Amino acid sequence: MPKITKRLVEAAKPQDKDYIICDDDLAGFAVRILPSGRRSYIVQYRIGNRYRRMSLGAHGVLTPEKARRMAFKVLGAVKDGEDPAGERSRARKACTVKELAERFDQEHISVRLKPGTATEYRRNLRRFILPALGRMKVADVTRADVAKFHHDLRHIPYQANRNLEVISKMFSMAEMWGMRPDGSNPRLHIKKYPEEKRERYLSQKELSDLGSVLNEAEEMGVDDIYAISAIRLLIFTGCRLNEIMSLKWTEVDFTNSCLRLSDSKTGARVVHLGPPALDLLKNLKRQPKNPWVICGKIPGTNRKEIQKFWQRIRKRAGIEDVRIHDLRHSFASNAVAQGMSLPMIGKLLGHTQVQTTARYAHLAADPVKAAASSVSSNIFDSLNGGTI
């Protein structure tokens, strides 16, 4: 076998079938001649009982000397127990982040997440994650890539942090599915941006103004009675929006004055009802063959959203900065003002974690502060000649 040189490669004549010329200096190095006249350098080796052939590049793009050096590196790796051709093939077939996201949706988002959370995950994937990382191979995504992605969203810190959570979960699943080594999650050690926890509670005056606007809307009959009822139920129960919007009549237990929610953010739970909520439900008109409490405009459906309605109502009530979720906070603040304990408030709101209810702890100090102020003022008056 001759040594492969430029003159030898260019003198080789094409035949009806492709053939190879092996190098006599480096076993495994060869040049392949195709019927079209194309010439390319290859390296051949064995891994166990498996024969491998790996393309190095076309003649003209590579010189014989450069191709030989490349072949030498490949054969050296083979001696160290590696399989360069197999690794190249696996890399070519490796899953992209876009393909991972599709499987993540099918096997996690669609199966394990609540509808609202699933919608948010898909929105983050569609709007942020896939445009930035979608074409990358799952195995190639580094912590630096995710850190840059997070940094690029620093102007919207809340959204940046939510996307970081989606990436974290998706790459944890990639490890479980064997797409990455265990413990290689690229989200690791990336700190979230600080978020301002918004705490907005309706005062007694604001509650009164809101009640007046809801009564006026009901009397005028221009607004949907089911949307009005949804807002009132949120105020009376402290429930989450989705818990009320997806409430079915089969979940209303009038005998025991409670809602038996089959599913919520924290799973199945019982919501105890006070007289205002019970009266509202007893007087709310049921639609024939419609299982939902908050009915939609199409027969047999439930209403999907009340955000636009709420924006009109809150504007008329002069509370334009109040979100629907703030009605739940207001329910909790009223419970605190009445001296209820944080564990009790957690029960009322359906919290499973003590830390979730702890955000209302500072409100519990208000009655104590008022008592301290009253006692100290009384003592002050006594010390200055007054009487207890």
Spatial separation of the C-alpha atoms in residues 336 and 297, rounded to whole Å? 38
Residue 190 lies in a domain: no
Instruction: Flag the least confident range among 14-28, 57-71, 77-91.
Output: 77-91
Report pLDDT for 387: 53
Asked whether residue 373 is domain-assigned, the answer is no
What is the count of structural domains for the chain?
A: 3
pLDDT > 90: percent of the chain: 65
What is the per-residue DSSP string for 158-183? HHHHHHHHHHHHHHHHHHHTTSS-TT
Residue-number span of the structural domain to which 132 is assigned: 97-176
Model pLDDT for residues 259-300, shown as the tens digit of each residue: 999 877 777 889 999 999 999 999 999 999 999 999 998 999
Q: What is the pLDDT of residues 311-365, one digit of tens each?
A: 999 999 999 999 999 999 999 888 888 888 888 888 888 888 877 787 777 776 6
Cα–Cα distance, 8 to 5 (Å, whole number) = 5
Please, what sign has the CA dihedral across residues 337, 212, 275, 226?
negative
Residue 121 sits in a domain of what CATH number? Answer: 1.10.150
Q: Do residues 179 and 139 touch, judged by C-beta distance below 8 A?
A: yes
pTM above 0.85, yes or no: no
* Phi, psi dihedrals of residue 316, rounded to the nearest 5°: -70, -25
Give the pLDDT band (50/70/90) at residue 208: very high
Burial class (CB in 10 A: 0-12, 13-18, 19+), 21: middle
pLDDT at residue number 91: 64
Same domain, 243 and 352: yes
Residue 388 has pLDDT above 50, yes or no: no
Flag whether 143 is in a domain: yes
- DSSP code per residue over 26-73: STTEEEEE-TTS-EEEEEEEEETTEEEEEEEEEBTTB-HHHHHHHHHH
**Same domain membership, residue 116 and residue 219:** no
> 81 or 153: which carries more pLDDT confidence?
153
Judgement on whether residues 66 and 103 belong to the same structural domain of the protein: no
Domain end among 65, 93, 121: 93
